[in-house]
Structure 1
Amino acid sequence: MTAHRTVADVAAAALPLLGRSLHAAHAAILWLDRVIERRNQRLALAELTDEQLDDIGLTRRDVERECRPFWKR
């Protein structure tokens, strides 16, 4: 007797894989969102004047170090 798989059987078997794929895609989107947010914060920090930086306890050197790409640190 040959077992025939129905579309429903195939779909049911694919659900765990789909769930993992959606989870991975969601995690990637969250990571990208954090990267973009940190970049925006660094750009805003770089636009502050020296007086504003002094108010929050930072120096221009601190900002330059923070805004430098990680591979150049």
Structure 2
Amino acid sequence: MTAQRTVTEAAAAALPLLRRSLHAIHAVILWLDRAIERHNQRLALAELTDEQLADIGLTRRDVERECRPFWKR
């Protein structure tokens, strides 16, 4: 029975690490989901005509600035 108790204690001790790991993985997945959604929105924005952009109060230059990679801003 001592061996069984040791295994249970070891599993209980590993549980917080597992929870933190799952939380970190979940956070990365959420970040990727948001990044993909922003990318898709920018692609859609870049496809709008100048007239459509004027309707929503943007210029082609605004769109180019928004769609530029962050490392080139």
TM-score by length of structure 1 reads 0.90
Question: Identity percentage over the alignment?
Answer: 85
Tell me which residue corresponds to 1:9: 9
Report 1:26-41 matches (<5 A).
26-41=26-41
Q: Which has the higher helix share?
A: 2
Quick check: 1:50 aligned with 2:50? yes
Q: How many residues align?
A: 71
Report the 3-state secondary structure (helix = DSSP H, G, I; strand = E; otherwise coil) of the residue aligned with 1:54: helix
Moved over 6 A (4+): none
Q: Which runs of 5+ in 1 are unaligned?
A: none
Q: CA RMSD in A?
A: 1.4
